[in-house]
Structure 1
Amino acid sequence: MATRIDHLHLTTAPPNGPVTRPRPIQALPSRNAAFTGRTALLERVDASMRHTGQDGVEDHGVVSLIGMGGIGKTQLALEYTHRHADEYGLVWWVGADQLAAVMASLTALASHLGLTAAQPSLLIRALWVELAARRDWLLVYDNLDDLGAMNDLLPPDGGKLLITGRDPRIGRIGTRIDVTEFERDESITLLSRRCPSLSPDDADRVAAAVGDLPLSVEQVGCFLDETGLATSDYLRLLGSQPAASGLDDRTVSAHPGLVSVVGGRPARRGGGSGGARGPPPAAPA
């Protein structure tokens, strides 16, 4: 499941005019307007990021969000980052599923900071020197699952690092936070947002059928709103023909299909009631 940033929001201080504080540099996927719940997890991430050691000095905040595909790691990281972006002078999102994508993102950051070098590896070293000299940055490594290949591409101490990944070994970096399924009330809330005609009882039945998996909840809500199927008819369809039940469709939040996320391949772009709904700003994990 490749994470791609199709909508980057880059801001820097204006070249002229009085400013009391430089505007932050930010490169983030678009925020998910339908983000639901996860209050306790967001609080845990924030507390871990702000943890201070026994000497009262703030630790290098590194938090790893670990969980299966479709569980909502990326959306959790994205929501946290948008909520706290203004606390940093530099916020940069790195799609970490492929080595080449990480290199491209980091060299883009280095160039944005005005750094130059004859070789990409030297440019990355210059970037690490720059980041080590400041403490006002937050980097997000999304979908990092090959830690061995990324060892030389992890940032230095000084700022904050938020990682998402499926491999539990990633949790050895910093504080590990396990991301699990929605609570039932969170599933019902999201289903009601996506399909307002769904009654709370029917939303509860649907949520139970898809195991409160956040991505499935999102996709089913969109599918039900689009098709107008009665809940009982949908549950029969889900049981007999899961491939036709909307779980492999993109959603209005531009999430790829569940099969794509779990299997790590491009989402099928179907027609009719299961058609694709536009390019993703960021893939959920």
Structure 2
Amino acid sequence: MNDTIKLTIMGGIDKAGIEEPVKLVEMNPGDILGIVGPTGSGKSTLIDDIEQLAQGDTPTQRRILINDTEPEMGLRVDPRRKLIAQLSQNMHFLADMTVSEFLQMHARSRGKDPELMHRVIELANRLTGEPIHEDEQLTVLSGGQSRSLMTADIAVISDSPIVLIDEIENAGIKKQEALSLLSGEGKIVVVVTHDPVLALMASRRIVIRNGGMCDIITTSAEEKEMCNRVSEVDDWLMDLREIIRRGDLVEGVA
């Protein structure tokens, strides 16, 4: 499915009813699109429009096209045909089952090999500093573990070719690896972020102000170099967090 999906955002209006300056945004498999802007500017509203496959029937009047056409109603309302997976800021499981039971059930529901659960857990453990074990109950997983597990699940088992992520930097996981994993699996990734590393990892970023898409910036070569430099600092901070979590001293850490 992934190699046939193209996502298009057609601009609508901002909070004042003024037409958005950005009229058209197109995305293809493997693309990472950032959404940036001040708190309350309307970033989450944009991903809500995408999640709903809006057709001018939301307050923004935006339209979302799939492969250059208006999606049929079944794609909008039938959860079995859903094209979009979403990772929210807060994610916890309520199901009373183990990690392996959940992943095997999901794989079977998608007509896939239940043994894929081992691959999912392996990838999830690359994203979190708190190891996930297959015999653990879902309800005891932390927020970071839950987000890591669902990121890996979406990459390996889910058929959804479009992934919406709301501020993954607050999830307590290795955010750069998470984005690289999803885009590497051919997903279209749309990420709302305040984080400079994630914003600069994206090939483009939409700037939101007053509820409207006011600009779209293509990441330059200079910004990519800046991303590499900031990533080194970010990796160092991640290592420092792990030292503190283990209860070790940080003396002499360079």
Q: What TM-score, normalized to structure 1?
A: 0.36
Larger radius of gyration: 1
RCO higher in 1 or 2 (8 Å CA, sep ≥ 6)? 2
Give the strand-richer structure, 1 or 2. Answer: 2
